[in-house]
Chains A and B, each alone.
Chain A
């Protein structure tokens, strides 16, 4: 059983197909980099994997279960375009909230640990409203990881991260993959993503143009894939 499985997925907005017959499989302990231009369908696919959207046709399985099931969602961590943090709550309150929702055993203690890990322990009781952008990003990362999800879904996570947050995320992702967890991340930033990825998939206007192992050539020349399989 693969950790992430999509078979023949179609997604329609009205009659417009945003995703056409997309089939991918990601084994546990792998990292899939999802490439594609804007509008290719990366976010759409990730939202379906996260249970935020329903596929029009086709089957999606996360850890053997339907992504809409609460049990499956509890083992998935997401990092979208927005940081998904409440401005009027403190860093600690935000993490405790999500800890509770995800059924973490000791939300308070886990929250504090993650604040230390992301270098935010001094801003523990400060409202997120006053945070700098870098601090918000790090807190968002803490939020996504704190319940030790078996599957991580990240939508362009390296975009607009500062160096500190970028290094933190990279380290956490490596750790996750090494621990046998699964990562799917969409990206424009080819370099960081390709360094982490074991598999690569390219979406072109909703269709899967390429899916396979990440080869060393790709690492040397990140644009190669677009040139070879991308749009004419």
Chain B
């Protein structure tokens, strides 16, 4: 993607985000029961969606890479995984902040949060594997396999932790509707700038990855002379 388009998109995302923040902080009412900190859910939930989308995109890119062996798919896969991981981490942190405010404790082994944590571990492992392999083709192939396994595992992990929690209910897990007025619309509105931001990050990362690979190849050529 050309830099100008990226800057435009980033600018658009910034504007939308600024507008949303204004509404969120100054116009939306506090949640009747949960107070002012409840607003964090407007970032917590979209972050989870975007992370999931990122990991799904990584799965598709990984399968495509193994089928076509074109390294652009690999560059895309690592970019969406990194961005997805960043948003998953954001989801975790906002979840803990919010949890602390309503439950008094930041961690309750809630199935969704725990699955997000394990997901972060899995995909952090993906990034670590990439660092450990030097040859770009081997790296692409091995991380593609890992991406497929990780994505297949996530639903199983979620199910197993839900099951476990069902047998050890520690704290009441909030599953209710978003009650306060204006929040539901805001939730969907906040999706757009965050997704735009994610797309910009992915594009930037992808460019970086492609350039890094070209540099490696040039370096190798020089050594071969």
Direct contact of A and B (CB under 8 A): yes
Shortest distance in angstroms between B220's beta carbon and chain A's nearest beta carbon? 4
A47 within 8 A of B: no
B184 CB–A CB distance under 8 Å: no
Nearest Cβ in chain B — how far from A112, in angstroms?
A: 40
Q: 1/0 per residue B121-141: CB within 8 Å of A?
A: 000000000000001110000
Q: Evaluate contact between A13 and B220: CB separation under 8 angstroms.
A: yes
Q: Which of A12, A39, A205 has the most CB of B within 10 A?
A: A12
Q: Which of B69, B216, B224 is within 8 Å of A15, CB to CB?
A: B216
Interchain CB contact (< 8 A) of A39 among B69, B213, B214, B224: B224
Which residues 1-47 of A have a CB within 8 angstroms of B? Answer: 12-16, 39
Q: Does residue B71 face the partner (Cβ distance < 8 Å to A)?
A: yes
A65 to B162 Cα, complex, angstroms: 51
Residues of chain A with a CB closer than 8 A to B214's CB:
15
CB–CB A14/B69 < 8 A: no
Give chain B's interface secondary structure class.
helix
Interface magnitude class on chain B: 10 to 19
A interface residues, tally (CB under 8 Å): 9
Residue numbers in A under 8 Å from B220 (CB-CB): 13-14, 16
- Set of chain A residues within 8 Å of B170, measured between Cβ atoms: none
Chain A contacts for B69, CB-based, 8 A: 54, 56
Q: Which of A136-168 contact B (CB under 8 A)?
A: none
Q: Is B175 an interface residue (CB 8 A)?
A: no
Contacts of A16 in B (CB 8 A): 216-217, 220-221
Chain B residues 129 to 176 lying within 8 A of chain A, measured CB to CB, are 135-137
Listed residue (A12, A13, A14, A56) with the most chain B CB atoms within 10 angstroms of its CB: A14
A15 to B221 alpha-carbon distance, docked (Å): 10
Task: Please pick, from A13, A39, A54, A56, the residue contacting B135 in the complex, using a CB distance under 8 A.
Answer: A13
Whether B136 contacts A13 by the Cβ 8 Å rule is yes
Residues of A within 8 A of B137 (CB): 12-14
The reply to whether B135 and A205 form a contact with Cβ atoms under 8 Å apart is no
**Distance (whole angstroms) from the CB of A223 to the closest CB of chain B:** 22
Across-interface contacts of A13 in B (CB, < 8 A): 135-137, 220
When chains A and B are docked, how far (Å) is the Cα of A16 from the Cα of B220?
7
Min Cβ gap B152→A in Å is 24
Complex: A39 Cα to B223 Cα, angstroms: 10
Flag B177-217 by CB within 8 Å of A: 1 or 0 each.
Answer: 00000000000000000000000000000000000011011
Shortest Cβ gap from A13 to chain B (Å):
5
Which of chain B's residues have a CB closer than 8 A to the CB of A54?
69
Instruction: Please name all residues of chain B whose beta carbon is closer than 8 Å to the beta carbon of A205 when the two chains form the complex.
Output: 224
A205 and B222 alpha carbons, distance in the complex (Å): 12
Query: Please, how many angstroms separate the alpha-carbon atoms of A152 and B4 in the complex?
Result: 57
Tell me which residues across on chain B come within 8 A of A56, comparing CB atoms. 69
Type the 1/0 row for B98-129, where 1 means its CB is closer than 8 Å to any CB of A: 00000000000000000000000000000000
CA distance A205 to B216 in the complex (A): 17
Q: Are B213 and A14 in contact (CB under 8 A)?
A: yes
For chain A residues 110-125, which have a beta carbon within 8 Å of chain B? Answer: none
**1/0 contact string of A193-224 vs chain B (CB within 8 Å):** 00000000000010000000000000000000
Ranked nearest first, the 10 interchain pairs of A and B with the lowest CB-CB distance are A14-B136, A15-B217, A16-B220, A16-B217, A14-B213, A13-B135, A15-B213, A14-B216, A14-B217, A15-B214
5 A-B pairs (CB sep. < 8 Å): A14-B137, A15-B136, A15-B217, A16-B217, A56-B69
Known interface pairs A13-B137, A14-B216; 20 further A-B residue pairs with C-beta atoms within 8 A, sorted by A's residue number: A12-B137, A13-B135, A13-B136, A14-B135, A14-B136, A14-B137, A14-B217, A14-B220, A15-B71, A15-B136, A15-B213, A15-B214, A15-B216, A16-B216, A16-B220, A16-B221, A39-B224, A54-B69, A56-B69, A205-B224
